[in-house]
Structure 1
């Protein structure tokens, strides 16, 4: 499955591994074949999407900035 109705080229299929619920925002860990992708979305969206551990999802990554720090 590929989401093509929006302009996002980086799409990673995976399953919800962990959900950390907050009052306003929640953290969603998605396990993909390439590793874990973490998203922070509204808790309302978690409910509306009916996200649960094991849900099949697509992580859509679009960024206008990527910062790098030297270790």
Structure 2
């Protein structure tokens, strides 16, 4: 399957560094040139996509809010 078009502008190509499986949701860490991007997705999706450490993926970031805290 090839991706033809996506409306998310923030895309990061990388490889899966770690997967922490949970019973319902899992954390997937993707190592990109910009740093680590962590996604929380359903464990079912991890299995259906056959995600494994070392798999090359695209991480799409689409956010409606960014919070800032003063240090």
Whether TM-score is above 0.5 comes out as yes
How far apart, in 1, do the equivalents of 2:43 and 2:15 lie? 18
How far apart, in 1, do the equivalents of 2:4 and 2:65 lie? 22
Unaligned runs of 5+ residues in structure 1 are none
The TM-score, its normalising length taken from structure 1, stands at 0.91
The number of aligned residues is: 69
Q: 1:3-61 CA deviation, whole Å, 9 max, x = no partner?
A: 55331000000000000000000000000011100000000000011000000000000
Residue 36 of structure 1 is matched in structure 2 by 36
The TM-score, its normalising length taken from structure 2, stands at 0.91
Secondary structure in 2 matching 1:37: strand
Larger displacement relative to structure 2 (17-26 or 4-13): 4-13
Where in structure 1 do 4 or more consecutive aligned residues deviate above 3 Å?
none
Unaligned runs of 5+ residues in structure 2 are none
RMSD: 1.1
Residue 15 of structure 1 is matched in structure 2 by 15
